């Protein structure tokens, strides 16, 4: 098997990303028919190492691996302590001898790069400070279910230029839709990721915009996405960020500007009444649990793709 890592949206081509999403859709349809077991992994073991807390990602990877005929080895981070008890490259070269893949959630994206460099097995990004590509796959599957696989929609991310916004921007440049990021001055997405998205958009026709104007963004959005203002690892900035991001809250007042039929998205966990009000997240426009549902199916698509090569 040829090693393929998935640390970034950019690790698969546009066609391959579409294939993963189609596979995810296929797995979802099968799941709905009660058929959720398929022997793709053939008893392979995939190790999970999460440096940060998780509900959705850890649960859905474990379920996906089980349903695809593999075994999920959940390694407690407190015990392994990558980079502290021993260097990341040593953890990588040990695991490489025993398991057939690593799914890891890390503070520093560099840790994933190191894991990938020192292994011969696929390494999957379960969230880093830079990207959350598996979330973006599930979100794109969700949007496709609603838009009937059309690319003529606008996805707007309101808030911090964080990991989730980066993967959504990159995947939008692949799909060819319009993507608007709106947030406070100084918290814009990573410049290299933005430049890469612009470069890809020249081929796909995507439109990528960055603005500080929330009203402009909301007025133009079919899908309004938000995420916490302080990500895991930024807890010490939380209070300061609450002040800086205040005007970027998704609430019923700001949604008066939204076009008819808009949808509300959030990767979860949400900080209710900070980046989004309880009323909005509980409203009928909210599709947050469909997104969470699709984490399982999109990741099954990803694993099936990576292990079929
Ligand atoms: N959306 C997401 O990644 O959720 P968890 O942090 O619970 O995995
Ligand atoms: N941006 C958030 C996403 C959590 C799923 C974080 O990194 O904490």
Q: How far apart are CA 197 and CA 130, in angstroms?
A: 14
Fill in the DSSP letter of residue 120: S
Same domain, yes or no: 45 and 103: yes
Omega into 137 within 30° of 0, i.e. cis? no
How many whole angstroms from 164 Cα to the centroid of ligand 2?
Answer: 7
Distance 245 CA to ligand 2 centre (A): 16
Question: Do both 73 and 121 map to the same domain?
Answer: yes
The CATH number assigned to the domain holding 214 equals 3.40.50.1370
How far does the centroid of ligand 2 lie from the alpha carbon of residue 228, in Å? Answer: 7
Q: Specify whether 194 is located in the same domain as 253.
A: yes
Do 283 and 207 share a structural domain? yes
Asked if residue 4 is part of any domain, the answer here is no
Q: Which atom of ligand 1 is nearest to the CA of 292?
A: 1
Same domain, 114 and 13: yes
- Residue ID of nearest Cα to ligand 1 atom 3: 57
14 and 116 co-located in one domain:
yes
Ligand nearest to the CA of 241: 2
- Residues 112, 232, single domain; the answer is no
Structural domain count of the chain: 2
- Continuous segment of H or E residues that includes residue 6: none
Q: Is the dihedral of CA 263, 267, 273, 275 positive or negative?
A: negative
Query: Could you tell me the residue range of the domain that residue 204 belongs to?
Result: 135-292
Report which protein residue has its CA nearest ligand 2's atom 2: 231
Q: Looking only at Cα atoms, what is the longest distance across the chain? A: 56
Tell whether 228 and 257 lie within a shared domain. Answer: yes
Burial of 29 (0-12, 13-18, 19+ CB in 10 A): exposed
Whether residue 26 lies inside any domain: the answer is yes
Active-site annotation, residues: 105, 132, 135, 227, 267, 295
Q: Would you say how long the chain is, in residues?
A: 309
Confirm whether 254 is domain-assigned: yes
What pLDDT shows up at residue 2?
A: 82
Q: Specify whether 102 is located in the same domain as 180.
A: no
Identify whether residues 301 and 284 lie together within a single domain.
Answer: no
CA distances from 17 to 14, 145, 208, 210 (A): 5, 16, 19, 24
Ligand 1: distance of its center to the CA of 275 in Å?
Answer: 16
CB proximity list for 307: less than 8 A, separation 6 or greater: 1, 40, 41, 44, 68, 100, 101, 122
Beta strands 207-211 and 223-226 are unpaired
Per-residue model confidence (pLDDT) at position 125: 99
pLDDT tens track, the chain, 309 positions: 789 999 999 999 999 999 999 999 999 999 999 998 899 999 999 999 999 999 999 999 999 999 999 999 999 899 999 999 999 999 999 999 999 999 999 999 999 999 999 999 999 999 999 999 999 999 999 999 999 877 689 999 999 999 999 999 999 999 999 999 999 999 999 999 999 999 999 999 999 999 999 999 999 999 999 999 999 999 999 999 999 999 999 999 999 999 999 999 999 999 999 999 999 999 999 999 999 999 999 999 999 999 996
Q: Is residue 114 part of a domain?
A: yes
Whether residue 151 sits in one domain with residue 41: no
Taking the C-alpha atoms of residue 3 and residue 38, their distance in angstroms, rounded to an integer, is: 21
Residue 101: inside a domain: yes
pTM (predicted TM-score):
0.98
Instruction: Please say whether the beta carbons of 119 and 95 come within 8 A.
Output: yes
**Is residue 228 a part of any domain in this protein?**
yes
Q: Which long-range contacts (CB under 8 A, 24 or more apart) does 185-190 make?
A: 185/212, 187/160, 187/161, 187/244, 187/245, 188/161, 189/161, 189/162, 189/165, 190/130, 190/161, 190/166
The C-alpha atoms of residue 162 and residue 140 are separated, in whole angstroms, by 18
- Is 97 contained in some domain? yes
Residue 268 CA: nearest ligand 1 atom is 1
Residue 286 CB-half CA count within 13 A: 19
Q: Is 48 in the pocket of ligand 1 (CB under 6 A)?
A: no
Q: Are residues 77 and 179 in the same domain?
A: no
What's the CA-to-centroid distance between 105 and ligand 1, angstroms?
A: 10
Measured by CA distance, the residue closest to atom 6 of ligand 2 is 231
55 ligand 1 Cβ < 6 A: yes
Q: Is residue 2 part of a domain?
A: no
Nearest CA to ligand 1 atom 4: 56
| 163 alpha carbon, closest ligand | 2
């Amino acid at each position: 098997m040829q090693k393929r890592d998935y640390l970034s949206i950019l690790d698969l081509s546009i066609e391959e990303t579409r294939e993963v999403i189609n596979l995810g859709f296929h797995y979802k349809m099968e799941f709905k028919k009660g058929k959720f077991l398929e022997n793709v992994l053939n008893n392979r073991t995939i190790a999970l190492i999460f440096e940060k807390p998780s509900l959705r990602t850890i649960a859905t990877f474990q379920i996906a691996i089980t349903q695809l005929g593999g075994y999920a080895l959940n390694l407690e981070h407190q015990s392994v302590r990558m980079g502290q008890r021993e260097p990341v490259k040593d953890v990588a070269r040990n695991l490489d001898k025993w398991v057939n893949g690593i799914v890891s959630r890390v503070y520093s994206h560099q840790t994933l790069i190191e894991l990938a460099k020192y292994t011969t097995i696929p390494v999957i990004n379960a969230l880093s400070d830079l990207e959350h590509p598996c979330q973006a796959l599930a979100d794109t599957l969700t949007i496709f279910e609603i838009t009937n696989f059309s690319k003529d929609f606008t996805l707007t991310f309101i808030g911090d230029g964080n990991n989730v916004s980066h993967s959504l921007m990159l995947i939008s440049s692949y799909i060819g839709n319009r993507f608007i990021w709106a947030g406070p001055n100084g918290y814009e997405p990573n410049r290299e990721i933005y430049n890469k998205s612009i470069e890809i958009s020249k081929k796909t026709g995507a439109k990528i915009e960055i603005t500080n104007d929330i009203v402009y963004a909301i007025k133009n959005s079919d899908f309004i996405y938000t995420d916490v203002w302080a990500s895991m690892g930024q807890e010490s900035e939380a209070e300061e960020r609450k002040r800086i991001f205040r005007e970027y809250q998704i609430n019923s007042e700001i949604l008066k500007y939204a076009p008819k039929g808009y949808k509300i998205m959030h990767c979860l966990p949400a900080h209710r009444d900070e980046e989004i009000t309880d009323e909005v997240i509980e409203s009928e426009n909210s599709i947050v649990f469909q997104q969470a549902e699709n984490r399982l199916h999109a990741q099954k698509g990803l694993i099936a793709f990576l292990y079929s090569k």
